[in-house]
């Protein structure tokens, strides 16, 4: 029975939030086995078209049976007990292949669980499978690999975004309620925005990167993708290596009245954001003001300066990891990834050192902005999803995104939906808070989500009889 007293058909279980599902499991209204079977059925029905999963766990039913027995015996571990999760396939799961979306590592078998996987399993969550990504997390889709690019659930002709494409598409399509991605220059927030879901890049160091194949270690973050803010809070609390997300649910406030929110507008025009993106962002700002926040325009260093620093640091760190293989086995990479990684060869030690010195000034400017406001809002990207059959193999420029400043600064940044284009494609923004204050970003995000209802919208998925979209 559902929380409102009605039966919940098995096919509708993937449509529920983690919070709703967890309440049903704890009350024994449904079992983890029923939930996992419903998710597996949905994957079987949809993923041949989406390509979000690269592997599905063969022991998920067994794990769900154990979880059901534990809960029945009164050994409830918390709100993720019995909830399935899946991970981007550069995150290790013991005894399983970690392909990183590449021929180079497709035979690599993990000896132990990544720290984040271990934490989720300890919380009672059930591993459901590995999710697709762009090769080694480098960005855009490739077409010369064994795995086809993930497609966007809102329009199967379009990209899902990168590099956490599988996690975003899987959550948007209801294949899994919780997916774990990584974010080096926006790789959680970009696909979250393009697929219309919620994605958190937490504070640098909040979630352990142990057992996660690196792209650029000083910029890499691990974070959750979910449909709703409250689901994201639960996930980050379980994943966190340090203190919980801002202190836990009790610190995610019920109101944003009196908060000072800074609006970052300059980059939107500079990067060529569409009028629909800008209009949706301005409407979101208006909603926050109506909810009691005080808004003011804030300026930080020009986006081009952040991008220059970020590209130098990312390129040099990534090249250091891949230089030997690029020399010895270049054709094992896709053409797009090879081109992207090879750019690091031109970034010498002096250029990297110069970028790090410049970065100190940029971060100081961002910190100064936070002395005037409690949080910042900005678009997540100036790019709408592209047709997969029209994407060039060359790496795309980074000047259409506003995410890398917050990787460089290590601040938490939350991407969430803000509506849809006239063609029905998701739009989104990001909420940025001071380091270690994810709870404030969640507070603002929850207030906005409750006021607008965008998280309730679902894509129409061919071949599946679902409940009507909200």
Mean pLDDT of 52-59: 98
List, in order of start, the domains of the chain with CATH numbers.
Answer: 10-456 (3.90.1300.10)
The pLDDT tens digits for 295-314 are 999 999 999 899 999 999 99
Question: Do residues 22 and 78 make contact, with C-beta atoms less than 8 angstroms apart?
Answer: no
Least confident of 110-124, 126-140, 261-275: 261-275
For residue 92, what are its two tokens? 């290790």
* Percent of the chain with pLDDT strictly greater than 90: 85
Instruction: Provide the H-helix boundaries in 329-426.
Output: 335-342, 349-369, 404-409
pLDDT band at 250 (very low <50, low <70, confident <90, very high): low
pLDDT band at 273 (very low <50, low <70, confident <90, very high): confident
The pLDDT tens digits for 129-172 are 999 999 999 978 999 999 999 999 999 999 999 999 999 999 99
Question: Do residues 327 and 104 make contact, with C-beta atoms less than 8 angstroms apart?
Answer: no
pLDDT band at 413 (very low <50, low <70, confident <90, very high): very high
Query: Using CA atoms, how far apart are residues 166 and 189, in angstroms rounded to an integer?
Result: 13
Catalytic residue among 22, 187, 334, 380: 187
Candidates 418, 215, 424; CA nearest to 313 is 215
pLDDT band at 382 (very low <50, low <70, confident <90, very high): confident
- What is the reported pLDDT for 91? 98
Instruction: Give 222's strand partners.
Output: 182
* Percent of the chain with pLDDT strictly greater than 70: 93
- What is the reported pLDDT for 206? 96
pLDDT above 60 for 5: no
Average pLDDT, the chain: 93
Mean pLDDT of 192-218: 98
Catalytic residue among 163, 240, 340, 380: 163
Does the active-site annotation cover 102?
A: no
Q: Which residue has the higher pLDDT, 148 or 250?
A: 148
Q: Which residue has the higher pLDDT, 274 or 465?
A: 274
Q: What is the residue whose two structure tokens read 């352990």?
A: 208
pLDDT band at 269 (very low <50, low <70, confident <90, very high): low
Mean pLDDT of 328-339: 95
Give the single-character DSSP code of 401: B
Mean pLDDT of 212-240: 98
Candidates 257, 255, 233, 229; CA nearest to 244 is 233
- What is the reported pLDDT for 270? 64
pLDDT band at 383 (very low <50, low <70, confident <90, very high): confident
- What is the reported pLDDT for 253? 84
- What is the reported pLDDT for 470? 34
DSSP 305-323: HHHHHHHHHHHHHHHHHHH
The pLDDT tens digits for 24-53 are 999 999 999 999 999 999 999 999 999 999
For residue 292, what are its two tokens? 């009691």
Q: What is the residue whose two structure tokens read 């760190």?
A: 317
CA distances from 404 to 99, 363, 426 (A): 25, 12, 21
pLDDT above 70 for 222: yes
The pLDDT tens digits for 80-98 are 999 999 999 999 999 999 9
Does the active-site annotation cover 119?
A: no
Does the active-site annotation cover 88?
A: yes
Question: Do residues 378 and 270 make contact, with C-beta atoms less than 8 angstroms apart?
Answer: no
Mean pLDDT of 194-221: 98
Catalytic residue among 22, 88, 164, 340: 88
The pLDDT tens digits for 415-446 are 999 999 999 999 999 999 999 999 999 999 99
């Amino acid at each position: 029975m559902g929380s409102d007293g009605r039966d919940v058909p098995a096919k509708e279980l993937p449509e529920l939030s983690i919070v709703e599902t967890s309440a049903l499991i704890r009350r024994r209204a449904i079992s983890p086995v029923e939930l996992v079977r419903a998710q597996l059925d949905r994957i079987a029905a949809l993923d041949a078209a989406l390509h979000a999963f690269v592997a599905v766990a063969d022991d998920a039913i067994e794990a769900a049976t154990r979880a059901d027995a534990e809960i029945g015996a009164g050994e409830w571990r918390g709100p993720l007990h019995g909830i399935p999760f899946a991970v981007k396939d550069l995150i290790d799961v013991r005894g399983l292949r970690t392909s990183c979306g590449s021929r180079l590592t497709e035979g690599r078998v993990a000896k132990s669980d990544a720290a984040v996987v271990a934490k989720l399993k300890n919380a009672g969550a059930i591993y459901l499978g590995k999710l697709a990504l762009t090769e080694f997390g480098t960005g855009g889709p490739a077409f010369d690999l064994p795995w086809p690019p993930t497609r966007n659930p809102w329009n199967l002709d379009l990209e899902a975004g990168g590099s956490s494409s599988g996690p975003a598409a899987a959550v948007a399509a209801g294949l899994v309620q919780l997916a774990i991605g990584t974010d080096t220059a926006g790789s959680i927030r970009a696909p979250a925005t393009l697929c219309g879901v919620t994605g958190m890049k937490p504070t640098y160091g909040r979630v352990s990167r142990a057992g996660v194949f690196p792209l650029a270690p000083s910029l890499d973050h691990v974070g959750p993708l979910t449909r709703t803010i409250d689901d994201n809070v639960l996930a980050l609390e379980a994943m966190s290596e340090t203190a919980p997300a801002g202190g836990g649910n009790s610190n995610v406030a019920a109101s944003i009245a009196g908060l000072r929110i800074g609006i970052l507008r300059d980059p939107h025009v500079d990067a060529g954001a569409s009028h629909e993106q800008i209009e949706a962002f301005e409407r979101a700002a208006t909603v926050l003001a109506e909810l009691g926040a005080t808004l003011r325009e804030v300026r930080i260093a020009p986006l081009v300066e952040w991008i220059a620093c970020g590209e130098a640091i990312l390129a040099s760190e990534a090249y250091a990891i891949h230089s030997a293989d690029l020399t010895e086995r270049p054709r094992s990479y896709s053409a797009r990834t090879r081109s992207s990684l090879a750019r690091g060869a031109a970034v010498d030690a002096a250029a990297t050192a110069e970028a790090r010195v410049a970065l100190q000034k940029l971060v100081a400017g961002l910190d100064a902005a936070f002395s005037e406001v409690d949080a910042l809002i900005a678009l997540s990207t100036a790019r709408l999803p592209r047709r997969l059959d029209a994407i060039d193999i060359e790496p795309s420029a980074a000047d259409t995104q506003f995410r890398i400043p917050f990787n460089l600064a290590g601040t938490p940044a939350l991407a969430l939906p803000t509506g849809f284009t006239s063609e029905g494609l998701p739009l989104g923004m990001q909420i940025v808070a001071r380091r270690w204050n994810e709870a404030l970003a969640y507070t603002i995000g929850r207030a906005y989500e409750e006021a607008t209802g965008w998280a309730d919208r679902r894509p129409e998925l061919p071949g599946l009889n679902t409940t009507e979209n909200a």
